[in-house]
Amino acid sequence: MKTATKRRKKATRHTKLTFSGNGKGPAAKRTRNRAAKKHALIQAACGLFAAKGYEVTTTREIAASAGCAEGLIHRYFKGKPGLLAAMLEHRVSREILDLSHQPRPAPTLEDEFLQLVEREVERVWESRDFLRVVIPRAIVDPAVGKVMNTALIPVRGQEISERLKHYESNITLPRDAMQVLAQAVGMLGFVFGFVQPVLLGQDPLHARKMAAMIARFLVGSPVVSHLNPILP
């Protein structure tokens, strides 16, 4: 009887270990819970840093907003600086993921430029809380500025440049004109997606309209207005 009982217990332990390692048991659940909690803490930190400022926001407030124990911030991120670094990393990953969900290029360079400006203004506006956090931190923390300059900004700039290069075989532009247009997309997005509506309190809809007007003016300049459409 005792031998049979020992065998059943041994078999039960073996079953539990096997179940935990197949991606559907307790180990997988713990992994999902950990990922969910880390995401909740990053989101809560972004909102509080944007609303109150990085320096005055406490880890206790972040944990309470995320519905997590404060100790998890130290366990997962090694404190508030690590949480900020994780927020930057999460943003870079999101930017890369967004690149796989882009609309098809427009039929002409003019239409594509207008489309890119409209999307960039909208994207920056949606990222306003993130920018509220990282711009002040980049001023006082060179490490944050370095991440933005080497990993975050180039992601968008490269994507915009590549889309505009799609038209190079069908048009003739002065040297570096494509790079100028790509830079213009980024500047219009930042000014009318963040500076005007967030810093200066302008109505977001009005800011978007102004961005579209300036984009049409730029794309209607003599340098661009004579260009032929892309052939199907």
How many CB atoms lie under 10 A from the CB of residue 170?
Answer: 13
* Inter-residue contact 115 to 77 (CB < 8 Å): no
> How big is the chain by its Cα radius of gyration, in Å?
25
Q: Quick one: pLDDT at residue 20?
A: 42
The Cα 163–Cα 113 span in angstroms is 9
List the pLDDT tens digit at each of the 232 positions of the chain.
445 445 444 444 443 433 344 556 666 777 778 899 999 999 999 999 999 999 999 999 999 999 999 999 999 999 999 999 999 998 888 887 777 777 888 888 889 999 999 999 999 999 999 999 999 999 999 988 888 888 778 878 888 888 888 877 666 666 677 788 889 999 999 999 999 999 999 999 999 999 999 999 988 765 554 444 443 3
The Cα 13–Cα 7 span in angstroms is 10
**Which domains, ranges and CATH numbers included, belong to the chain?**
10-85 (1.10.10.60), 102-224 (no CATH)
* Inter-residue contact 165 to 187 (CB < 8 Å): no
The Cα 194–Cα 188 span in angstroms is 10
Question: Full-prediction pTM beyond 0.85?
Answer: no
